[in-house]
Amino acid sequence: MRIAQEEVFGPVLSIIPFDSDEEALEIANDSIYGLAAGVWTSSIGRALKMAHELEAGTVWTNTYRVSSPLSPFGGYKRSGFGRESGLLAIREFVHETSGADTPNPFIVR
């Protein structure tokens, strides 16, 4: 279906029936995109399995679009480049040194 092959933005929910976790993963991963996914379940084992096997940058469990600026965010496959937010993203904007050659800015010299 076209709805399952394109990256649709907006208040859209597509409901596609499936008979097993494996079939759900096959349907979800059969796309060139992978920005985010949501899993609704009462089983923590199923949630962890899906989060591990879904080809998506972010996988939410029993919620959607809830995130912290400390958590990396970004897509998978053709849904973006790299990650935004989180410690690894901050490193893209700073020059790190060993610390030995960096003077302490809190000491008056």
- Crossing angle of helices 44-53 and 21-29, in 10° steps, is 30
pLDDT grade, residue 92 (50/70/90)?
Answer: confident
Has residue 87 got a pLDDT over 80? Answer: no
Report all structural domains of the chain as residue ranges with CATH numbers, in order of start. Answer: 2-93 (3.40.309.10)
pLDDT at residue number 59: 92
The mean pLDDT value of the chain amounts to 84
pLDDT value for 90 = 73
